[in-house]
Amino acid sequence: MKKIVIKNAEIVTMNNLNEIVHGDLLIENDRIAAVGRQINEHGIEKVIDGKGKTVIPGFVQTHIHLCQSLFRGQADDLELMDWLKKKIWPLEASHDEESSYYSAMLGIGELIQSGTTTIIDMETVHYADFAFQAIAESGIRALSGKVMMDKGKEVPKLLQENTEQSLQESVNLLEKWHDYDSGRIQYAFCPRFVVSCTEELLTNVRDLAAYYRTKIHTHAAENRGEIEIVERERGMRNIVYLDHIGLANPNLILAHCVWLNDEEKEIIKARGVKVSHCPGSNLKLASGVAEIPDMLGMDVIVSLGADGAPCNNNLDMFNEMRLAAVIQKPVHGPTAMNAKTVFQMATIGGAKAAGLEGEIGSLEVGKKADLAILNLNDFHVYPSFGVDTISRIVYSATRADVETTIINGKIVMENRNLKTMDKGIIL
Ligand code: GUN
Ligand code: FE
């Protein structure tokens, strides 16, 4: 049995009993075997000195487009629909086998460097197989799938697909990658958004996801222009429409959810739909400020995602947490979103969205060993009297404070050296 121990660390467990403990954390193979108690080093291959370090659950990002990592920054002055038509769709259409692989590796490198250990990812129409290859080699935990878009005159020819092709290619990928590496990789169906999908496609996705027991990952109610198109073409508000066709269920992950009325929030709550809040992207694409305090008040499960590199410029969860905390303050007051709530969204909230709350999202015996070791001693994050660790992480920490990242019991970055990506981008 392969054993790793982290000695004498501060451990942010986020379990229900002890938020933070001090002591050792033992990993046996891919799982956590002990948290907090002293571990004898005898017979343990790898001992990591955790003195002065902070161990946290790896971040779970519930809305990422690895296929857009090569297009970083391509959204300085556009709103969603123009940005898709003028920039993103033509760029996605330019992908080939190699660029899809390297785009994914570039994104994964950044994610692992900044402590993210699980992603819910949406690839482009073609070449998703090569992104899955990168995911498999890198060691990151992922739910991913090819984007589905069988509708839209303004879509470049190379991205156009018919309903049958879209469904068949998704199922082919699912059969190849779902449950790969003992479930580290899962397939998720990814209809792009209602604007790009026929009702036939969406209802087939509903049925296939139920049959294969997979998640469905899509965008919804991100931008006012988008919801106007949905209302005009389908005669209903975005979330009402998703419910009307039977897609609103606990396995649905909705990115953004900025423009919801009360009825739509009630549907999300009643159906157990999961929300992926993307504050960085919502700001940069001028989409709006999602009403997250409202949703949390209704006990909706909210998680966090950086979205793609074009509409955020980085995939760093520290950035996302900080934005999630601060953007609510001018609207709802200084206590609208406390640091612990944001940290929960970034960890256990994401695990719940992915349906993996029994496996990841907190540091507990029996869960998968997905974690990051932080060094919170640099000038910008040094402890100040009375400021707790979680507040320091949310408001002060950066990706540079992540020293080591472990996923599924494997060290994928050690002392900032990425380990498992020899064929990918060397950062
Ligand atoms: N809505 C439909 N496609 C996309 C996309 O690629 N990114 C974002 N942010 N929103 C979308
Ligand atoms: Fe997106």
User: How many CB atoms are closer than 10 A to CB 300?
Assistant: 18
**What is the reported pLDDT for 422?**
58
Q: Indicate if the pLDDT at residue 423 is higher than 90.
A: no
For 171, which DSSP code?
Answer: H
Q: Provide the CB-side half-sphere exposure for 168 (13 A, CA).
A: 5
| Ligand 1 atom nearest 80 alpha carbon | 10
Question: Residue 213, exposed/middle/buried by CB under 10 A (0-12, 13-18, 19+)?
Answer: exposed
Q: Find the mean pLDDT for residues 238-252.
A: 98
Q: How far is CA 241 from CA 8, 175, 194, 222, 277, in A?
A: 52, 29, 9, 15, 20
Mean pLDDT score, 203-231: 98
ipTM of the complex: 0.99
289 neighbors 327 (Cβ within 8 angstroms)? yes
Q: How far is the CA of 220 from the centre of ligand 2 (A)?
A: 9
Q: What is the pLDDT of residue 216?
A: 99
Let me know if domain 59-353 sits in CATH 3.20.20.140. yes
Task: Locate the domains of the chain by residue range.
Answer: 3-57+362-418, 59-353
Domains 3-57+362-418 and 59-353 share a fold: no
- Over residues 128-155, the pLDDT tens digits come to 999 999 999 999 999 999 999 999 988 9
pLDDT of residue 402 exceeding 90, the answer is yes
Domain 3-57+362-418 CATH assignment equals 3.90.870.20: no
Ligand-binding site membership of 332 (annotated): no
User: Residues 43-90: pLDDT tens digits?
Assistant: 999 999 999 999 999 999 999 999 999 999 898 899 999 999 999 999
Quick one: pLDDT at residue 18?
80
CB distance 116 to 57 below 8 Å: no
E runs forming strands in 101-237: 116-121, 141-144, 147-148, 185-191, 215-220
The model's pTM: 0.97
Find out whether 364 is annotated in a ligand binding site.
Answer: no
CB of 88 closer than 6 A to ligand 1?
Answer: yes
219 lines ligand 1 (CB under 6 A): yes
Check the annotation: does 63 bind a ligand.
yes
Answer yes or no: is 222 a known binding residue: yes
Return the closest-CA partner of residue 65 out of 92, 90, 87: 92
Q: Is 340 helix (H, G, I), strand (E, B) or coil?
A: helix
Nearest atom in ligand 1 to the alpha carbon of residue 226 is 1
Q: Is 336 exposed, middle or buried (0-12, 13-18, 19+ CB in 10 A)?
A: middle
Asked whether 360 lines ligand 1 (CB < 6 A), one says: no
pLDDT of residue 373: 98
Q: Whose CA is nearest to atom 11 of ligand 1?
A: 219
- Average pLDDT for 225-252: 98
- Measured from the alpha carbon of residue 311, the closest ligand is 1
